[in-house]
């Protein structure tokens, strides 16, 4: 009997003992897939890295036109000039223009224009090259000839060819052919009817020196002109 109890006790001890855990293989590390982040864009204007669509440049990289002139008198950068539209009248009344590049080269084609500096240029390109905007096509109108007052030299080199209104250039000899010049003299308003013919510097016979002067003509010689 004691032997039987001993076997039962051993059997109970074995049954109640915890099971020895089986060795497990280490788990393989999880594989992670890198996530690619798309580059940030600068909105509707384009990529921020290139600045496309920013304030300085527009679509296609074209430089925005800069205003010039106006009431503030804004100047253009170097190698540019202020170009005015025809209706801006060269910036009159504080009208503004836009900065435009000065051309490096121009053709020799003659298509005259009048610049805002009142000078005539062979073509619009040459005006732009000089930094001058065009006011109109065609040559500029010639300024009126200067005139001389009464008693001043006229009709010779270095002196006006014409006199003030109501005056004429009275030559003393050769009708000014020798560069001697004349003197601006008043035209007579009344003459006698005495016939004393003279030949005028206009090649016409006048009734007297007075009537010749009234017509603004100097006397070439006394007597009628030879026909």
Segment 26-60, tens digit of pLDDT: 554 444 444 444 444 433 333 333 333 333 344 44
Q: Per-residue confidence at 6, pLDDT binned at 50, 70, 90?
A: low
Judge whether residue 174 has pLDDT over 90: no
Q: Find the range with the poorest average confidence among 115-119, 151-155, 157-161, 215-219.
A: 157-161
* Mean per-residue pLDDT over the chain, rounded: 78
Q: Find the range with the poorest average confidence among 62-66, 132-136, 156-160, 213-217.
A: 62-66
Judge whether residue 71 has pLDDT over 90: no
Within 10 Å of residue 61's Cβ, how many Cβ atoms?
12
pLDDT for res 24: 52
Q: Per-residue confidence at 194, pLDDT binned at 50, 70, 90?
A: very high
211: which DSSP letter?
A: H
Mean pLDDT, range 155-162, rounded to an integer: 83
Mean pLDDT, range 93-118, rounded to an integer: 92
DSSP 127-189: HHHTT--EEEESPPPPPPPPEE-TTSEESSTTS-SEE-TTEEEEESSGGGTTS--EEEEEPPS
Mean pLDDT, range 136-158, rounded to an integer: 85
Mean pLDDT, range 144-149, rounded to an integer: 80
Predicted TM-score of the model (pTM): 0.40
Residue 203's closest CA among 188, 214, 219?
Answer: 219
Q: Per-residue confidence at 161, pLDDT binned at 50, 70, 90?
A: confident
């Amino acid at each position: 009997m004691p032997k039987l109890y001993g076997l039962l006790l051993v059997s109970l001890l074995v049954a109640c003992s915890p099971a020895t855990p089986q060795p497990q293989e280490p788990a393989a590390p999880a594989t992670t897939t890198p996530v690619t982040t798309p580059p940030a864009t600068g909105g509707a204007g384009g990529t921020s890295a290139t600045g496309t669509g920013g304030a300085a440049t527009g679509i296609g990289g074209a430089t925005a036109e800069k205003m010039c002139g106006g009431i503030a008198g804004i100047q253009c950068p170097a190698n540019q000039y202020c170009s005015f539209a025809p209706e801006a009248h060269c910036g009159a009344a504080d009208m503004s223009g836009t900065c435009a590049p000065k051309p490096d080269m121009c053709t020799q084609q003659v298509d005259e224009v009048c610049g805002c500096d009142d000078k005539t240029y062979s073509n619009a390109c040459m005006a732009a090259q000089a930094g001058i905007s065009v006011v109109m096509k065609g040559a500029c109108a010639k300024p009126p000839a200067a005139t001389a007052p009464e008693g001043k030299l006229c009709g010779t080199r270095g002196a006006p060819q014409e006199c003030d209104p109501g005056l004429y250039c009275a030559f003393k000899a050769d009708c000014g052919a020798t560069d001697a010049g004349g003197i601006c003299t008043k035209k007579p308003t009344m003459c006698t009817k005495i016939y004393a013919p003279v030949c005028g510097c206009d090649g016409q016979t006048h009734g007297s020196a007075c009537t010749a002067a009234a017509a603004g003509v100097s006397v070439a010689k006394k007597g009628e002109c030879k026909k």
